[in-house]
Structure 1
Amino acid sequence: MNKFRGQTAAVLRPRSTEEVSAIMRYCHERKLAVTPQGGNTGLVGGSVPLHDELILSTSLMNQVYGIDAVARTLTCQAGCVLETLNAALAEHDLMMPLDLGAKGSCQIGGNISSNAGGLRFLRYGSLHGSVLGLKAVLPNGDVIDTMKGLRKDNTGYDLKQLFIGSEGTLGIITEVLMGVVQKPSAVNVAFLACPGYDQVQQTLVAAQKGLGEILSAFEFLDHEGMRCVNETVDVPNPFDSTAPFYVLVETHGSNSEHDYAKLEAFLENAMETGCVVDGVVAQDATQAAALWQVRERITEGLQHDGVVYKYDISLPVQHLYSLVEAMRPRVADLATRCVGFGHLGDGNLHLNITSPTASEELFAQIEPFVYEFTREHRGSISAEHGLGLMKARHIHYSQPAANVTLMRQLKGLLDPHGLLNPYKTVEENPLNV
C-alpha cells in the first residue's frame, strides 16, 4: 500500500531454528531490535522496520520435512510459500485448509503470525484449529516446541495459541505442524445476482441450510466492486445486466451428483423466493476460475484508481454493509470509489475507498469514523490482517482496557526490552531498555 517506510542496517537470512535462536540471543544481549519478515504481503505494516530495526527474513527457511497422509499432517519450515505447500500436498490428494489471494508469495509462518483467514474460512475454520504444533524462538533466544502434533493434548496451557495472530511480537515462528484436509473431488461454483443486501443475507441462510456440510465459500461484492473489475482489469460481468449485489458460492465435496443436486435445489429455492434474480453455475474448472476472478481481482483493480484506503473489518452480518452505506455520503465528493466486498459467511467486510492521490481531507472523513462505527456495532477493527503498525494505537476500539493490559503484560514478560517487532500490535512504549 506504500504507506510505511523503514530502513535497516542488515537483513539476516537464517536457515534453521538454531540460527534464529542464535541471532535472537545475540540481539537480546545487545538490545538490538528485530523485525521478522516473511512474504511481505501484509497490509498493516507489520513486517516493515519503522526506524533501524534489523530484519530477520525467513525466506531461506523453506524446507518441507514431511507429509503424513494417514494423520493428514504437514511438517515444514515457516518460510514455505503457501502455493508451494499446496503443490506438495496435491501429490497425496490433500490441500492446505487456507487459501489466500497472495498464495503465490505469502509464507506459512507469516500466515500463522497474522492468523490469516482467507477465502475458505467458512468451511475449514481458523488457523487456531488447523495449527497442531509449532516451534517459536522467544526474544531471548529460547525455543518453544509444541511439535508433537497431537490433536488431543490437554496438559496445561496451549502455548502455541500465543503465537497465532501475535504478529511476531512475542516470538518468531520457525517450524510448523499443520493439519491438512482432503482435496475435494467435487467442486462447484455458482455466481449469483441479488436485488438488495437483505436478499444477500437470506441467500446466505438458504445456502447454510440447503448446502450444509459442502458449503466452502460464500463471498459477496457490491455493484461498485463489479464496475471496478469491469473497467480496470477487463474482467467481464457474467450477466448481461447489472445488479446491486453479487454472491459467489462454492461447494467442496466427494460426490458430484449429490453435490450438484443440492446446489440445484438451493438455487431453485433462492430464485423462487426472489433472493436471487440471476445466476450462473460453472460447467468446468475453467469457468469456475473465471468466476473466481471477479472476486479475487477486485484488489488489483482498485490499485488502478491511485491511492487505496483499505479496512478489514468484522461485523455482525446484519450490520456489515451498513458501514459502506454510511461511508459513501461522507466521501462522495472526495473519493473515486467506495467499495464493499468480502467473506460474508464469516462476517468479514473489506471496505476500500480510492482517490487519485493521497488526501488528508478524505482521510479525515474515514478515520476515526470507521473505527467508531465498528465499536458501536460490537465488531473488530481487524478481521484477518492484524493490527501491525497501522492499527496498533486503535486496539481500544475492539478490546476492553483489561484485555489490552493483559496483552501488554504478556509482551512485557516475554520481551521485557521490547526488542521484537517494536511499535506493532499493542506497543505504546517499546524499547524499554
Structure 2
Amino acid sequence: MVGGSVPVFDEIILSTSLMDQVLSFQDVSGALVCQAGCVLERLSQFVEERGFVMPLDLGAKGSCHIGGNVATHAGGLRFLRYGSLRGTVLGLEVVLADGTVLNCLTSLRKDNTGYDLKQLFIGSEGTLGVITAVSLLCPPKPQAVNVAFLGCPGFAEVLQTFRTCREMLGEILSAFEFMDAECMQLVGRHLHLACPVRESPFYVLVETSGSSAGHDAEKLTAFLEHTLGSGLLTDGTVATDERRIKMLWALRERITEALSRDGYVYKYDLSLPLERLYDLVSAVRARLGPGARHVVGYGHLGDGNLHLNVTADAFSTAVLDTLEPFVYEWTAGQRGSVSAEHGLGFKKKDMLGYSKPPEAQLLMRQLKVLLDPKGILNPYKVLPAHA
C-alpha cells in the first residue's frame, strides 16, 4: 500500500522466508515464540489446534510474515477485541544495523525494568532494526462465534448502533465493520455477491465471540430486538454456522477486490474521530463531483479506521491534485492520522507532518541516527527527506 518493502533505488533485499520455525508455545499462558518468517495463516492454524487464536487477522494472512506484521504494526479485523500488537507482543529478537543481536525475547506479561525497547521496533517498518523472532500472547479460541449483518438508514444510526453494541454486547463484541451503499453495489456488480438484507444507505457487520453459545445468542438477540425496535436498523440477518459466517464476512473483506475491478483506485487509510468519520467521504464526493466514478467509505469503525477509496476510468493527475493535499489537510484538521494501519513507507513519508509535530519528527530522526547512523536499514522510507 505504501511501498514500505519495495526497493526504489539501490537497496539490497533481505528475505526472512526461511526463518519459519515455531520455537515454543506455552499452552497455559498462550505465549507463542516463533521466527519472523512464519506466515500468519500457518501460525493461526498452529495455535488453533491447541485451543488458541492469533490476536491478529487480516486479508493477507496467507502470505504475510509475522515479522513484517510487527514491523509495520499491522491492525486488521481483531483490533477491536484484542487491541494492537503493541499490547500483544511480549518480546522481540532484533538485529541492529551494526550486527548486534538484541535479544529481548521474553514471554513475561509483566516486566517493568527500564525502557520497553521492543516498542521502538513495532511499527518502525524496518528502519531501526531487523526483527528476527517474535514472542506473542495468543488469547483462547472462542467457543461460540456469531455474525450479524445489518442495514442502517444513516451514519448517525451507525454510530448509535455501535454505542448500543458496546453497551449491550460488552465483552463478547469482537468486530464492528461498516460500509456504505456504494460499496455493496460494487460488490454485487463486480463479484456477484448478493446483499442479504434490505437495501440501505449503510451496512454494519457485527461479530461476537465468547465461551457460551447460549449466553452469546441471548445477548445478541436482545441487542437486535432493541436496535430494530428503536429504528436504528432497517433490516438484519444473523449467521452462526461457519459457511454462512464466511459468506457475510466476504461482503466486507472483498470490497477491495470489487474496487480494483471498477477502475483505477486512489486509496486512503485514515484514523478519524468517530463522529466525523464519514464526513470526509461526503466532502470528497462534493469536491470531485463527476470527476470520479465512485467515492466510497468503509472500514473498522470500532477503532476509528476509515478506508476512503476513489475510483476513476484511469489515473489522472487532475484527480490526484484535487485529492491531495486536501484529504491530508482535512484529516489533520480533525487531529486524525494520515495512516491508520498501512504505515508510511516510501509513498507517504512526506505526509508525516500532517500527523506528527516537528518535535516528534526531530526525535524520530535522532533515534534513526542513533540506531542506524549509516542509514542502511530500509533507506528512503518513513522519515521525510527534509526532516
Query: Shorter-chain TM-score: which interval?
Result: over 0.9
Secondary structure of 1:182's match?
coil
Residue of structure 1 in register with 2:71 after alignment: 113
In 1, distance between residues paired with 2:195 and 2:288?
Answer: 26
| Secondary structure of 1:55 counterpart | coil
Tell me how far apart the structure 2 counterparts of residues 271 and 54 of structure 1 sit (CA, whole Å).
Answer: 57
Q: Which residue of 2 aligns with 1:322?
A: 279
Q: Which amino acid aligns with 1:73?
A: A
1:408–1:427 CA contact under 8 A, matched in 2:
no
Alignment of 1:170-319 (within 5 A): 170-239=128-197, 241-319=198-276
**Deviations along 1:254-290, whole A, 9 cap, x unmatched?**
0000000000001111111111110000141111110
**Cα deviation 1:373-404 (Å, max 9, x = unaligned):** 00000100011111111110010000011001
Q: Are residues 1:409 and 2:363 paired?
A: no
1:344 counterpart (280, 292, 301): 301
Segments of 4+ in structure 1 off by > 4 A? none
Deviation sequence 1:304-359 (CA, Å, 0-9, x none)? 02211111000000000001000012223221111100000100000011112111
> Does structure 2 conserve the Cα–Cα contact (< 8 Å) formed by 1:61 and 1:79?
yes
Counterpart residue number, 1:82: 40
**Does residue 1:58 correspond to 2:16, yes or no?**
yes
Matched-pair contact (CA < 8 Å) for 2:352–2:384? no
Q: Which amino acid aligns with 1:266?
A: F
* 1:294 partner letter: L
The amino acid of 1:324's aligned partner reads: V
With over 3 angstroms needed to count, the CA separation of the structure-2 counterparts of 1:273 and 1:138, relative to structure 1, is: same
Please give the alpha-carbon distance, in whole angstroms, between the structure 1 residues aligned to 2:2 and 2:274: 24
CA distance in 1, matches of 2:2, 2:27: 36
SS at match of 2:56: coil
Structure 1: distance between partners of 2:38 and 2:315: 35
Q: TM-score normalised to the size of structure 1?
A: 0.88
Aligned CA-pair RMSD: 1.0
Given that residues 143 and 210 in structure 2 are in contact (C-alpha distance below 8 angstroms), is that contact kept between their aligned partners in structure 1? yes
State the 1:168 CA deviation: 0.5
Determine if contact 2:145/2:240 at 8 Å carries over to the other structure.
no
What letter is aligned with 1:312?
Answer: D
Cα deviation digits, residues 15-41 of structure 1 (max 9, x gap): xxxxxxxxxxxxxxxxxxxxxxxxxxx
Q: Which residue does 2:62 correspond to in 1?
A: 104
Q: How far apart are 1:235 and its partner, in Å? A: 1.3
Aligned letter for 1:159?
L
Letter in 1 for 2:106: K
Gaps of 5+ in 1: 1-42
For 1:185 and 1:292, how far apart are their aligned partners in 2?
A: 18
Inter-partner Cα distance in structure 2 for 1:52 and 1:416 = 18
Count of aligned positions? 387
**How far, CA to CA, are the matches of 1:102 and 1:235 in structure 2?**
21
Identity level (%): 58
